[in-house]
Structure 1
């Protein structure tokens, strides 16, 4: 099939119409006609080649919502069929044979198909192909497509650690940063039953935090506020892409608490062993969840009215949308409508 996509032809270049042949449909594959695609900071990283792993032409996009156009012969049509509204997220396939896949931890498959790393084949296109049908997620009727798109990466990224680290409804938790990831994390944790504190440098987003379900707010740029939170939290989820005094954030944990990173700071994470050892604290991390984690996340979001707050852009404004992500001005997620 000939696919019209929108590609950066070189690092940092504008996106241009680009056509490629997707080849014959494999037995386990699914073609999805894209109607909406979220724009994640990772897409910008690939287009601008921040980490030296971009493949050009680069068709980014890994939060695609659309309609199933075709399915391979090996697809279980009781679960995925032509005409279904579905999502293809950060992981579009895995081998389904290795020990991690068999254990249900498909996100750790050494042969997983990361949608944004394909070169061509990302979601900024008229069609996107999932290489393994089990990774194609039906979208709950309650969630509009534009609001569903960011859930496939941002939502899956912040929800999976709640499961992995055993966060309890009785826990006191903190979310560091109120952006594309953080605004979803607050909603998930609040609906999970936790008391949620947002930690942000200034009070610019304080009212947003409360409207999303937070019960408290710490302005870390105000002298003494972060220090006053020492020993308060069972779990701290950092969603920021900034270097912060991580020892101070570990100090906000109760004994046995966990500081989990889902945002990627630009420099090494440096802490003293004495921030960890005396009270058996833990540093962890998270990536988008596997097939079942993502299914549970979507069901939970639909059931509890959890929504991405989005700004939508049409195709002529795609580069403008990318700039909003580069500048951090999107409030809180940019979504392309095709």
Structure 2
């Protein structure tokens, strides 16, 4: 850890979520270095906010590491992380910089865990998913495990009416071709899209829901050790049927032509504005069961996903600046604690059943 200047870098500061994180970091009295690949946009945000800027791409680990040599913590916001996380993680290990990002991609969480030994050796923290993916669900999973220590099955889910930012939409397009994912007997397995459906009360009435390949399929295992994990979001039965039909066209969804077209469309999407974000609450739900049939459920309300992402990313960066932490690969609940989400503005009390 750098003892001289404890500098934070926000890489991808010119994106929708990157800008929100920059604004919140400034509110918290931090002076982040804004960075990214787009020279004009990065320079523009730096001038607007009166912050130092660095412009570099992620093609060479050596070059990235040189740009991180004086940085204590990086908040990596430039997706798709399936392409950008590896060079940034490797550069962070090289430059002894703590790595955080706002991904929700299973492949990136697994990648982070694969660097555990190298990160320990370098005294560096690798903690992907310090935003809405996956702080709320990760904290809930960990608390449910505390309540039922011999749990063998974990189901998580959330209900969020939010529109997507261009970056999130593009990542979702990539995911379509890869199908669904769940964890079974400790292993992540590929399943069809909308593999399972279930009626769930997320805290706002019962809704039909389907499985999605959310980040907790990876992270909740490292946080809890529970070997069987599924994640759900609400969808109408009609909507679930439509998505199931896509399974027949999965090969087509993965072709370059279709991917490029869908990503172009995704680039036109706009994340919610401030008023929309304030109105849009998110409902988070989870359930654990053991082999004897005992169960515990929990649910709570939290802020809109984008609000929670900038709150969480800055809170984790502050934690890393304030504490000497031994290196390694972490999930948010393991790095900070499983009450982290409850300290973020907009989060209500977690209700457990049985009490």
With normalisation by structure 1, the TM-score equals: 0.33
Say which structure, 1 or 2, has more relative contact order (CA 8 Å, 6+ apart): 2
Please report the TM-score for the alignment, with normalisation by the length of structure 2.
0.32
